[in-house]
Chains A and B, each alone.
Chain A
Amino acid sequence: MKNADSYFCIGSTHDVCQDYASSSPGYLMAIVSDGCSSETDTDFGSRLLVRAKEQFKFFRPSKLIHEARDWASAMNLSEGALTATLLTVGIDVYEPYFRTEICGDGVVVGKKHNGDIDVLSYEYLKGAPMYPRYLLHQENFSRWQTEFPENPLVVTESIITSAGEILRGVSEHRWEREDFETWRQSDEIGYGNWAMAEYEYVAVLSDGVRSFMKRDVNTGVSVPVDYLEVIRDLFQFKNFNGEFVKRRCKRALKDFAAKGMFHVDDFSMGVVVVKE
């Protein structure tokens, strides 16, 4: 079974959905983009970035951002509209690996053949992710680094066992300022390889997965929900046919709502599955 599917929906506090997701079962690729809330028109920007990645599949972010910028310009959109993340999962054309490309913040989930789920959380300490837009020119990149000097990318690995037990923060890696410069020069942005021998599917999610809240029926007070618990309940695919991600997300969000859970930020997810 080989398939790819995606899903996105608006958060409870948003008027416009700034997340966008798309997938190609033919190319076994899924793409997610999350527009920055503090910039205007990033709902357009997230769509343009995803479309750019769909059209120029093998372009690195530093190259396809220029394509997206040209389209934005033709639509009279400012460069700021492109302030959005870009997370992609696909398959390596030569080797049996899932390949992830993470430019910005978000979450990557890999389901192992043994039933365990590996979760990698990408978070920038100051909440200011390295957007593909900062690769347009050196000035953008330098300004971002200057505005947010102590802003490492922290990648935290957690495991959800097949029994549903959550092993939080089993490892952590920090990427510092100098790493970003290396990435910018080498154009190797947040790449990850996941062996098909070990994993049956890999998913990319926007940080909307970390925005779930639960309303207490008695007090009416809403409290944050651990994103690992959300992932544990969300990643219960019944099958992988057709629009399997849309089915699962719609059902999961309905079940969450019945328990008083909702996501305040836009939510998006894309999955590629290769299962024998």
Chain B
Amino acid sequence: MPRLDDLQQHKATLGAYGFSATRIEDLGATEYTLVSIATDVSSSVDGFGTEMETCIKEIVKACAKSPRADNLMIRLSQFGSQVRESHGFKLLSAVNADDYNGILHIGGMTALYDAAENAIGSMSRYGQDLMKNDFNVNGIGIIITDGCENASTLTLKDVVKSMKDAMKSESLESLVTILVGVNIQDQGVSDTLKQFQADAGITQYVELNNAKASTLAKLAAFVSKSISSQSQALGTGGPSQQLPPSLTI
């Protein structure tokens, strides 16, 4: 079970879900990469929920070992029929991999749009607060799903708006978003997710046709490298180059 933490609550701009984040006065560095991971916990994930937890733990462990660890903040949310924040934007030093044991609560449908908007909007909002306080900020959002949208209160238009607002507001130096389709074995689902990526302006779509432990381990490595790459791009004025998933997964 995750430890109780002392993060500051923020209200949502769109939708019903806000987010929490480390207080500005508790931050000491000059720049941060905000990492927002949103993972599907709908009923269909039941078959590989443990493997997903392991995947997330590996991502966090890899980030903690990064030379840029002091400049990373990570947020985890999970979505079934609703979006629930597992923990808000926290420094890597405040995160313990063991906190992720049993963190995912499987069940419900797939509120993909709500989750995507929340992941993007939280980075944009918090990024704005950080920028106002002279921090340099960029962001990377990873949305992991095994199926299509079927439960959100928000629409695709809201996701598109959230993405455009994040880009226009200059709250983030750059924003990279990755949609991961895990255990995708239906062409229809694959096509729908690819369309969602294109319509929402998501940077990259990565598809896995199974959810084996070895495959999710490769996903963890890919996500960690993408985070590291985006963190190294901070200060350059633009996003990191996309990693080709075919070489890593």
| Chain A interface residues (CB < 8 Å from chain B) | 237-239, 241-243, 246-248, 250-251
B136 touches A242 (CB 8 A): no
A247 touches B134 (CB 8 A): yes
Smallest CB separation, B138 vs chain A (Å): 14
Q: Offer 9 A-B interface pairs, CB within 8 angstroms, sorted by A.
A: A239-B133, A241-B24, A241-B25, A241-B26, A247-B30, A247-B135, A247-B136, A250-B30, A251-B136
**Known interface pairs A239-B25, A241-B25; A250-B132 also in contact (CB < 8 Å):** no
A250 touches B133 (CB 8 A): no
A241 touches B134 (CB 8 A): no
B26, B132, B136: the one within 8 Å of A238 (CB): B132
**Known interface pairs A238-B132, A251-B134, A251-B136; A243-B30 also in contact (CB < 8 Å):** yes
Nearest B residue to A246 via CB reads: B30
- Residues on B with beta carbons closer than 8 Å to the beta carbon of A237: 134
A243 touches B133 (CB 8 A): no
Nearest A residue to B25 via CB reads: A241
CA A246 to CA B136, docked complex, whole Å: 11
Among A243, A246, A248, max chain B CB count under 10 A is at A243
Smallest CB separation, B89 vs chain A (Å): 16
**Known interface pairs A247-B135, A248-B134, A251-B136; A241-B30 also in contact (CB < 8 Å):** no
B134 touches A238 (CB 8 A): yes
B27 at the interface (CB under 8 A from A): yes
1/0 per residue, CB under 8 A from A, across B126-138: the answer is: 0000001111100
**Chain B contacts with A in 99-157, Cβ cutoff 8 A:** 132-136
Nearest B residue to A238 via CB reads: B133
CA A251 to CA B235, docked complex, whole Å: 11
Q: Is the interface of B mostly helix, strand, loop or mixed?
A: loop
Nearest B residue to A3 via CB reads: B28
B24 touches A239 (CB 8 A): yes
CA A241 to CA B28, docked complex, whole Å: 5
B247 at the interface (CB under 8 A from A): no
Among B27, B30, B133, B135, max chain A CB count under 10 A is at B30
A238, A243, A250: the one within 8 Å of B28 (CB): A243
- Residues on B with beta carbons closer than 8 Å to the beta carbon of A238: 132-134
B94 at the interface (CB under 8 A from A): no
- Residues on A with beta carbons closer than 8 Å to the beta carbon of B30: 243, 246-247, 250
CA A243 to CA B132, docked complex, whole Å: 15
CA A248 to CA B136, docked complex, whole Å: 10
B29 at the interface (CB under 8 A from A): yes
A239, A241, A250: the one within 8 Å of B136 (CB): A250
Nearest A residue to B23 via CB reads: A241
B134 touches A242 (CB 8 A): no
Smallest CB separation, B180 vs chain A (Å): 33
1/0 per residue, CB under 8 A from A, across B211-242: the answer is: 00000000000000000000000000000000
Smallest CB separation, A201 vs chain B (Å): 15
- Residues on A with beta carbons closer than 8 Å to the beta carbon of B25: 239, 241
Nearest B residue to A250 via CB reads: B30
Smallest CB separation, A23 vs chain B (Å): 13
CA A239 to CA B28, docked complex, whole Å: 10
CA A242 to CA B132, docked complex, whole Å: 16
- Residues on A with beta carbons closer than 8 Å to the beta carbon of B28: 241-243
CA A180 to CA B27, docked complex, whole Å: 44
Among B24, B28, B132, B136, max chain A CB count under 10 A is at B28
Smallest CB separation, B225 vs chain A (Å): 26
- Residues on A with beta carbons closer than 8 Å to the beta carbon of B136: 247, 250-251
CA A214 to CA B173, docked complex, whole Å: 25
Nearest B residue to A25 via CB reads: B28
- Residues on B with beta carbons closer than 8 Å to the beta carbon of A247: 30, 133-136
**Chain B contacts with A in 11-29, Cβ cutoff 8 A:** 24-29
CA A242 to CA B30, docked complex, whole Å: 8
B133 touches A242 (CB 8 A): no
A241 touches B27 (CB 8 A): yes
- Residues on B with beta carbons closer than 8 Å to the beta carbon of A251: 134, 136
Nearest B residue to A237 via CB reads: B134
- Residues on B with beta carbons closer than 8 Å to the beta carbon of A243: 28-30
Q: Which 10 A-B pairs have the closest CB atoms?
A: A242-B28, A247-B134, A238-B133, A251-B134, A247-B30, A246-B30, A243-B30, A238-B134, A241-B28, A248-B134
